[in-house]
Amino acid sequence: MDYFPLFIDLKNKNCLVIGAGDIAARKIELLAKAGAIISVIAPEISDSVYQLAANNPDIKIQLKKFSPDDITQQRLIISATNQADINILVAATADAHNIPVNVVDNPALCSFIVPAIIDRSPIVAAVSSGGASPVLARLLRAKLESLIPPAFGRMAKLAEKYRALVKEHINPPAQRRIFWENVLQGSIAELFYSGKEAEAEARLKNAILENPENLDNTGEVYLVGAGPGDPDLLTFRALRLMQQADVVVYDRLVSEEILQLVRRDAEKIYVGKQRDNHSLAQESINELLARLAKKGKRVVRLKGGDPFIFGRGGEEIETLVEQNINFQVVPGITAASGCATYAGIPLTHRDHAQSCTFITGHLKNNSVNLNWQQLSAPNQTIVIYMGLVGLEIICQSMIQHGASSDLPIALIQQGTTHRQRVITGTLGTLPEKLKGQGIQAPTLFIIGTVVSLHDSLKWFHPENNHRE
C-alpha cells in the first residue's frame, strides 16, 4: 500500500492553497464542500477563484507571491502552481512544519493524494491511483457513481436515526447485521430511492418493532425499460435493479448484450412475443409477475425500449395495483429516439418537421386502422413501430390520402447495435426495395423529409452497416 487512506475533518479548520488558476479552483471547491476556512495566495487570480470567494466568506484571497512565512498552523496545504521552484519551496516548508501537503500533478512532492471522490454524504467513497494514473481513478469513480443511487446519503441518515432503536429491539449483533443488510438492499431501500421516503421510514419502524425476522419476505416488481439495444443507453437505475433482481422476466427485444448485465445467479424467464407466436399471453405475464412478487422475489420485468410506449407496461402494473404489490417503473430510451439518433435522422427539425407522431403498424385481421388523413399531412415525422408486415398497406394508404409518393422513408433494423442496418427510399419505392433483403424484426420506420438528412448526419457506422 503506497498511501494509507483516511478521511480528515476540515470543518472550520485553516487550509492554504497556493495558486489561483482553474486547477486550484477545483481544489478550493472541494475544500469548501468540506467546510474548511481557506486562504488563497497567488499574484494573479482567475475569474473562477474570484467567483468562489464571492460566494463563500470562508475563502480569503491574498494577492501576493508565496513566502515560507505564509505556512503556520494550517491543517493541510495544496500547491497548484505551474512554477516548479514555488512548488518545491511549498512542499519543503510544509514538510518542515509537519503539515500534509499536496502538489498537484507531482506525486514526488506530495505527502497526501487528493482522490477521485464519490460524494453521497454522509457516505463518501474515494478512489486513488497513488498519482500513477489520475485518469484511471476518475474512470473507476464514474463506474461507482453509476452503481450508487443519489439518495444513498439520505438513506444513511435514516439508518443513523433508527440505529439505537434497532440495537434496543434486535439481538444478538449478528441478527442486527442481517436486519440492516435486508433493509439497505431490499424493498424499504427501493421505496426510499423511488421517492417514497415517508412510507419507507414507516415500514422500517414497523419492521423494527413488529417483525424484523420477516423483513425480506415482501417482494416487488421493477418494470424496467432496456432501451433499443445498446447497453450504454441503460439508465443508472435500470442497471442497479438488474444487478439485484432475483428473477428477470424479459422479452425478445432485449439484446443479449443487455442480458449479460443481469445478476449472474438471477432466474431468467423468457416471455417474448413474435407475430402469431406468443410464448405467454399478456394476461399470463401479468399474473406471473404478481405471483413471483408474492413469493418474496425482487422481479425485474425487462422490456425493450420504454415500457410505456407500445410496451404494455400500463397493463402489467394495473395487475400489480389490483393485488397491492409494490412496484417501480424505470423509463428507457424508446426505439424511436434511440434508433433515429443512431441513424442520424432528427425526429424534429426547424426546416422539416414541427411535430412527431408514434404509431404501431401491427396488423389485426390484415388491416391497419389509422387516421390516414392526419398522418398524411406535411411538415411532420411519423415513426412506425412493428410496421414490417403492414408496410405496403401503410405506404399505399398514405399516398391515397395525399402524401407524396416521393416522401422519404427509412427502415432501421436492430438500431443502436453493431448489427444496425439503415435502408432509405420513398413511400413509392421502399416496399419493393425491401423484397429479398432478408429484413427481420426488430425494425422501425421513419417517414418524413427529415429522412433526407440521413446521408449527411449519420455518425454511427457499425461494421456491417448497409449503405444505399
Q: Is 44 annotated as a binding residue?
A: yes
Q: Is 436 annotated as a binding residue?
A: no
* Nearest residue to 349 (alpha-carbon basis) of 437, 452, 246: 452
Q: Write down the catalytic residue from 216, 251, 297, 303.
A: 251
Q: Is 304 annotated as a binding residue?
A: yes
Q: Is 306 annotated as a binding residue?
A: yes
Q: Is 71 annotated as a binding residue?
A: no
Helix (H), strand (E) counts: the chain: 17, 19
Q: Is 415 exposed, middle or buried (0-12, 13-18, 19+ CB in 10 A)?
A: buried
Q: Write down the catalytic residue from 13, 273, 294, 433.
A: 273
Spatial separation of the C-alpha atoms in residues 316 and 300, rounded to whole Å: 12
Q: Is 228 annotated as a binding residue?
A: yes
Q: Is 335 annotated as a binding residue?
A: yes
DSSP string, 124-155: EEEE--TTS-HHHHHHHHHHHHHHS-TTHHHH
Spatial separation of the C-alpha atoms in residues 313 and 330, rounded to whole Å: 10
Between β-strands 277-278 and 298-303, what pairing exists: parallel, antiparallel or unpaired?
Answer: unpaired
Q: Is 23 annotated as a binding residue?
A: yes
Q: Is 246 annotated as a binding residue?
A: no
360 and 332 Cβ atoms separated by less than 8 Å: no
Does 33 qualify as catalytic in the annotation? Answer: no
411 and 434 Cβ atoms separated by less than 8 Å: yes
Is 96 strand, coil or helix?
A: helix
Q: Is 360 annotated as a binding residue?
A: no
Q: Is 415 annotated as a binding residue?
A: yes
Spatial separation of the C-alpha atoms in residues 372 and 376, rounded to whole Å: 6
Q: Is 22 annotated as a binding residue?
A: yes
Annotated binding site for S-adenosyl-L-methionine: 228, 304-306, 309, 334-335, 386, 415
Task: Cite the active site residues.
Answer: 251, 273
Annotated binding site: 22-23, 43-44, 228, 304-306, 309, 334-335, 386, 415
Annotated binding site for NAD(+): 22-23, 43-44
